[in-house]
Amino acid sequence: MRGLALILALIFAALPARAAMEEIVAGLSHDNIGITAAFNGSEVLIYGAVKRDAPEETALPLAVIVTLEGPAQRVTIRQKSREYGIWINSSKVRVSGVPSYYSVATSGPLESVLSLKSDVTHRISVPLSMRAFEGPIEVEDARPYTAAMMRLREENGTFSVHEGAVHLVEDTLFRADFSLPANLVEGDYKTRIFLLRGGEVIDTKSVAIYVRRVGLERWLYMLAREHAPIYGVMALAIAVLAGWGASTLFRLIRN
């Protein structure tokens, strides 16, 4: 028995040490955003910690990346050209699965903390956040079209990258603040948190944020979508009444 115990002890001692498991524990400051007539944007705090079952001994640096992605849209990108003195649409590219909003926050320079392999696998960077082209592509190279779309969306604040915006404390606690613009699209927004070592993703976590119109704005929005004829009649009636009221008011002022 002693011989068997000694053999087993030697076998276990020869096995490589199991790497410490690292997991993300995270939360949101709020997971519901209501859009009203006075809505001018919102602030969302994403915070969390790295849970370990043993001290991590690797020398590879730890990093955290947080992405916030809005509902997908179908986008048509057109190029204009001048023909016979008139500007016309000469070619177009359709892209499906384009996020209506996409923001990336990192704990360090994106190229340093994220490998190309992990980026392709998880679609983290802004260019890879777009899912696919649809239909026949009318141009040989679609990259200038997608680059133009990304430039326009970066200018209006719906696409953004914030390097160093994730505050990582002692490789354990982290937080990221997102400033959402006023032109948010209603729908479910997906928050993804990536934990990385040496540029490779070792754990991920997803949390949803629900953006909805509330109050009178939601009632009008649903009426326009589900009962368009009624909405049109109401809009016309309001316009007629407003015009009549303005005309009556001016007559009273003149008299």
Per DSSP, the residues of the chain read -HHHHHHHHHHHHHSPPPPPPEEEEEEES-SEEEE-TT---EEEEEEEEEEESS-----SPEEEEEEEE--EEEEEEEEEEEETTEEEEEEEEEEEEEESSEEEEESS-HHHH--HHHHHHHT-SHHHHS-EE-S---SS--HHHHHHHHHHHHHTTSEEEETT-SEEETTTEEEEEEEE-S-PPSEEEEEEEEEEETTEEEEEEEEEEEEEE-THHHHHHHHHHH-HHHHHHHHHHHHHHHHHHHHHHHHHHH-
pLDDT of residue 183: 85
- Domain formed by 19-214, architecture: Sandwich (2.60)
pLDDT value at 67 more than 90: yes
- Tens-digit pLDDT profile for residues 9-32: 444 444 444 445 889 999 999 888
pLDDT value at 5 more than 60: no
User: Quick one: CA torsion of 18, 66, 100, 180, rounded to 10 degrees?
Assistant: 160
pLDDT of residue 94: 77
Cβ atoms 2, 29 nearer than 8 A: no
pLDDT, averaged across the chain: 80
What pTM was estimated for this model as a whole?
0.73
- Tens-digit pLDDT profile for residues 116-130: 999 999 999 988 887
> Confidence band (pLDDT; 50, 70, 90) for 142?
low
Cα 131 to Cα 120: distance, rounded to the nearest angstrom: 11
> Confidence band (pLDDT; 50, 70, 90) for 106?
very high
- Tens-digit pLDDT profile for residues 215-237: 666 556 665 666 677 767 777 77
pLDDT value at 132 more than 60: no
pLDDT value at 140 more than 90: no
- Which is it for strands 32-35 and 132-133: parallel, antiparallel or unpaired? unpaired
pLDDT of residue 200: 94
The mean pLDDT of 93-114, rounded to a whole number, is: 89
**φ, ψ for residue 202 (rounded to 5)?**
-115, -15
pLDDT of residue 145: 76
Question: What is the percent of the chain with per-residue pLDDT over 90, rounded to a whole number?
Answer: 36
pLDDT of residue 18: 43
In sequence order, what are the beta bridge partners of 177?
A: 45
Q: Retrieve residue 101's tokens.
A: 């909003």
Cα 162 to Cα 191: distance, rounded to the nearest angstrom: 15
pLDDT of residue 15: 42
